[in-house]
Amino acid sequence: MLQVAKRWHVYIVRCADGTLYTGVAIDVAKRLAGHNGARANGARYTRSRRPVTLAYLETAANRSAACKRECRIKQLSRREKLALIASASRIISSAKKK
């Protein structure tokens, strides 16, 4: 049987109180549903800060790379995280215009 490679992602969600939460997942939509209470596997941090919305998404080569990137993002200041989110938004916006 042929196995499909699982793609790992690093994501940042914006919580209802304006805080940012960074995590890793294969199925980001499923994880986001968990953060918003649709599933029992949401993070404790986001439980009291619902709803959360996806602010940033990045694909990683494997789980190890995703976790290392998550760690680097978590070390950034809030200002740096917002700049990362803004730069990704600009790239997406310019790609849509083409």
pLDDT of residue 6: 84
Structural domains of the chain in order of their starting residue, each with its CATH number:
8-97 (3.40.1440)
pLDDT of residue 37: 87
Please tell me the number of Cα atoms within 13 Å of 46 on its side-chain side.
26
What residues in the chain have per-residue pLDDT under 50? none
Identify the sign of the CA torsion 46, 91, 72, 62: positive
- pLDDT digit string, tens, across residues 76-85: 999 999 999 9
* Residue 13 near residue 52 (C-beta atoms within 8 A): yes
Between CA 16 and CA 93 the distance in angstroms is: 24
pLDDT of residue 85: 95
